[in-house]
A and B are shown apart, each in its own frame.
Chain A
Amino acid sequence: MTARSVALPSNIWPPLIAALLLVGMWQGLASLTEGMFVFAGPVEVLGAIAGEGSLLLRSAGVTLQSAALGFAIGNGMAVVLAGLALALPRLERLISGLALVFFCLPFVATGPVLRVIFGVGEGPQVTLAALATYYTTYLCLLVGLRATPASWLDLVRSYGRGRFSELIHVRASASLPYFIAGLQIGAPAAFLGAMVGEFTGAERGLGVLSIRAMRGLEVDMTWAIATIAAAISAVAFWFFGWLGRRLGAGPPPLLLSPRREERKSLGFGALDLTLVVIAVLGLWIGLMQAFNLSPFFAKRPQDVLSFLVADAANRDVLLDAFWQTMSLTVPGYLAGLALGAGLAVVLVTQPRLAAAALPLAIALRSIPIVTTAPLFVLALGRGPAGTITIVAVMIFFPTLAACLEGMRRTPKAVLDLFATYAASPMQRLIHAQLPAMAPAFLASTRMAVPSALLAATTAEWLATGTGMGSLMALTASTSNYNLLWSAIMVLAVTASLLYALVRLLERHVLKTFASEQLAT
């Protein structure tokens, strides 16, 4: 039937055939470009894995261990934060704001700083893995804990039970699907965090091997490492999906949709913003004092301020780098969003293709693209094209998966209605599927902001030698810590502000396109 255009595949053949085609194309491309030191096909990758098997296995084990530890800590933090936000509704905006700012810290800079603090060992890897994980889980939990149908809560109250029973019996189980979804998104992110942590100068792990292979132009090895990282992430993503289904928690209604604002329609007010800024500064100073960090590398807000105010040259260096980075991030970000949503629209008008593509897109979105950044550097050189491509690819797969999923959730009754008027596929797309896609597209637009900056700065750091990424790498090695902390502040503030801006836009649009989702 035409009405049910994007039903789930009834068997596994279409995605399997698509995957085989993809592997075939990969091998074909590799054969065509032989001698260019760019592509290594599946055969070469398998060869590299066989040749360096024990080293790769050991390194993957090290990285996986850091990722798992960080994953556990990050999700623990998310549960605590969400619990706090639920218990103290007045503080929710403050907690959410702080959580966002810490999530937006640029890994490229926090990595080296953490390296100085922790010294050798896996401290930075674990910390970055935790930082990469906690925010999405926190958001999912927050939506989940509030998604409880009011009638369930009334049921608990009708037995005279209090808020605690409410939490145990109702809210916890109602939020389980959301929690699982958070874990699912977080698992590949934790692996990414651990690998970026290793980029900062660990002794062992896949990240270390990856940098070494890229610098030595070992094409087969670089591809082998990226393949292993992708495979581990995909398995982790799949595992939590399976766990969710096992526990009877299907995918939640809509992921990461911001909840309805009871008091004001426009998100953050000036008061909330001031509170968050004060809290960030307080934590910044407080944590440094508490851990007794040396003022030589642990710069306080006042140091950053005087550094930026004292010398215009400092500001110019920072601003130059900032604009360089933004000039690569913004085109990549927009291209990734447009290509993801565009391909989703094309696929949805080709139902068979979409059935094959959805599982593939979901599998591919779990790949931590940043860990494959060395590949793009090999393929596209160290110019702006490479960085823009990394940013675009980083955003492309999550957007594609979210948009396909969003359109798949077009209410079936609405599609039936269109069938009773024999509506054309174009009418169906414009009047039903695109509006149904809007909330998912906007959610991924928002979540893509920090990822885009992460991808751009990582590429700059590893390869291009321009922009904030390179600046931060440079200042870390020349011990210009004032500049490093200024860069961290500028990037975190930029990411947080852009994120908040997109969320504002999202709320505005959601009010129209998904009022029923805001109402729940």
Chain B
Amino acid sequence: MAFSRRGLLAAAAAAPLLMRVEDALAQGIQPKRGGTLNSIVNPEPPVLHVGVNNQAPTLIVGGKIFQGLLRYDAKLNPMPELAKRWEVSPDGLEYTFHLQENVKFHDGQPMTADDVVFSIMKFHMEVSPRARGVFARIKEGVAVNPTTAKFTLSAPFEPFLLMFDVTVSAIVPKHLFDGQDYRQAPAVSKPIGTGPFRFVEWQRGNFIRLERFADYWKPGQPYLDAIIYRVVPDSQSRRLALESGQVQLTQSNDIEPFDVPQMRARPNLEVRTEGWEYFGPLMWMEFNHRVKPLDDVRVRRALTMAVNRDFIAQRLWFGIGKPATGPFHSATRFYDGTAKSAAFNVEEAKKLLDAAGLKPNGQGVRFAIKHMSLPYGEVFTRLGEFLRQSFRQVGVELQLESVDVGTWAQRTAAWEFDTTINYLYQYGDPTLGVERSYVSTNIKKILFSNVAGYSNPKVDELFTQGRDSADPKVRQTAFSAVQKILVEEAPLLWLLEMSFPSIYDKKLQNVITSGSGIHACFDDVFLA
């Protein structure tokens, strides 16, 4: 892997520098009460209820209103949130959570183990496709006493403890949902959680206003009086709002990657790219294996060799994120760094295409395929153009198609594409976030399934082994083997381990303190 010097510098600048309240105290920065944080939300979420809607903006704003049982550090170790401690039985079947005392919902009702059991066993089972896939394995969930909840699995499931972040299974008030249609209950448009900030006002198209919850269970916290999320739809206007100090924090896709270097250069702004480890977003080029010659492994390997992934990371994303090495994000558990997809090599790529019987015609073109650009902003258009250029070097013509979000979602789900770009969260564990893209049982006409149509019985078997074993060693063996097979067969063209810049005024403290970064509840954030 050929890192440029600039790349190394960018990587060093992005090294995790997690600072918690204790660290800040050690450095002599006393948390200060008061102040309003102005930030940006983009795109505007349709509703703010985490669970009913799981779009990134909903999770970022909703993450201040709601909390989960646990949160996670950058290495994905669980840390206490609404659960102050937890035990797992030696057979890996029983999970017992001991809850914090004196936790109240924003309507003044106490939060108890009943709410926890309701949230996990009923609410998220009903509304969240991702949660129900895992929570369906729970045989029984009971509230042992008001501060203890116990879940018994029908079979061991090693990644179970990763499922309790606010972004997956926020604890919701049972008394406001039980017996109603969860998606249409009044509490969806007026969200009530246990978080440090309560929902106050939402002028659509304008701003969302959250205010300090006085009865928050951590005494003296949160430090901020209010958080205001302004809706600013244009990326250049967002940049101006940040530069002029009208907002003190931007996150996620707010600032385009090509604007980030200028933000780094400003002395009053801090740019951080960590805080996405829990999600592990991996971006790839989707091949439709039903389209010839993409069914030929030699062609897919050749196309992999034709693309310089370092260039994408450094020149298109300006060092935000890292070149992908294979099907696993390097923050995902059981990542095997020895399994690497074919390196950038134009000459080898041409030889492979020759071997596949695809000779160039008079214009030097071996074959043409279409590419549906991902309609998520300017940078993906640039990526499409770069890929077209890269493929042209090996004699493959990539014809770009522009579509809007609705068309992209519909055509990708219906397998109506040759190639496209997609990125998926891996959620820290291959069983939770990687398996779905490769196993043949998940070849479905639904987004985020195996829409490529890749199928290999050995891969299916290894993913099943990894899923069903309670032993991390067995899982590592299975997942290492599967990574080796996948990088050889190149079912997809992995491009980038994505990250997103959190940019904020240096006066703002404790912004990124966990593996889920900007989604944290901000009860320890303060303006110095």
A binds B: no
Residues of chain B whose beta carbon lies under 8 Å from any beta carbon of chain A? none
Residues of chain A whose beta carbon lies under 8 Å from any beta carbon of chain B? none
